[in-house]
Amino acid sequence: MTKRPATKKKKSSEPAAKAAKAKGSRRAASSTKDTGETGTPAKKGRAKAAKTDNVVKSEAKPTKTSKAEKAETKAVKAEAKPAAKRTKKVVEAPPPPPPRPEYDLNGPIPPEGSAFPKKVGALLGVGQKALGIKTFRPGQAEAFDHLLGGEDLLAVMPTGSGKSLLYQLTSLVVPGVTVVVSPLIALIKDQLDKMVAKGVTAAKIDSTLTVKQRREVDALVRSPGGKLLLTTPERMADPEFRVFLREASEGVGVSRFVVDEAHCVSQWGHDFRPAYLSLRKALEDVGRPPVLATTATAPPHVRDDILFQLGMEKATI
């Protein structure tokens, strides 16, 4: 049997096809890189992006201020300068208060006061001249005798009997500050209006005052002569305020301490105020002046509590 000669195998064309395909892919990738997604040349794409950036930067630039706006700004600054000067004037120290009439117990005794102790009779003369009263009401002359003697006094007197006159009149003849503590701001304002109308030198310190008003009150309190200062028990709890009172009236300080509506001190009273419990410490801080406590109604157990809370165990009732 004759053998056929072996035929040579044809080389496969697959490697060549793969190489051609790879070459075509590289060309396509190169074309995509140069043209971008839309087929636009890269240079055009970069130019467009640069143009967009320029538009954004142009929009971000601040607009130039017009002449009218500059003039308005200048006018506003010019108006602000006088306002600053006015603010400085507010904080300036107020002028000293005008001189007040001076009263003492060396004047003549009126006929209506001849039956009273000498000082009490002279005090009635001051009351007639300064406040326009004719004579004392029942219980007032005796109370004045104790007050002029520098004693502590608990005055239990009915409404309308003239309790307020006890400290209003004595404040005219005693140098220094007569401090009157009242429970309500409305009551303080009412009392102050009546005192000023009578010619009594008086002022108040509470939370309703402006800075300017407070400076005016400070100047009045520091001035010489007798005067009344109405305030609240909460204000008396302030240590700085107590120091201020000690230095008042050119160093004379507090000449008398008045607790109005004194039943508020007692926990047994019908209008008990916890802030009143700090008054005993306040009295010590201002030099423990003579104390006058006034109330319209106070049963025995409330009286005892008032005397204890204010340190008035030796007071006259």
pTM strictly above 0.85: no
Question: For 283-294, what is each residue's pLDDT tens digit?
Answer: 999 989 999 999
Q: Which of 76-80, 196-200, 242-246, 274-278 has the lowest mean pLDDT?
A: 76-80
Query: For 48-57, which contacts have Cβ atoms below 8 Å and span 24 or more sequence positions?
Result: none
Report the alpha-carbon distance of residue 188 to residue 60 in Å, rounded: 63
Where are the chain's structural domains? 138-309
Band of pLDDT at residue 105, cut at 50, 70 and 90: confident
Between 71 and 212, the higher pLDDT residue: 212
Q: Is 62 left (phi over 0), alpha (psi -120 to 50) or beta?
A: beta
Band of pLDDT at residue 100, cut at 50, 70 and 90: low
Distance spanning both ends of the chain, measured CA to CA? 163
Q: Is residue 263's pLDDT more than 70?
A: yes
- CATH architecture, range 138-309: 3-Layer(aba) Sandwich (3.40)
Report the alpha-carbon distance of residue 258 to residue 234 in Å, rounded: 15
pLDDT at 115: 93
Question: For 186-209, what is each residue's pLDDT tens digit?
Answer: 889 998 998 888 888 899 998 888
DSSP state of 316: B
pLDDT at 270: 65
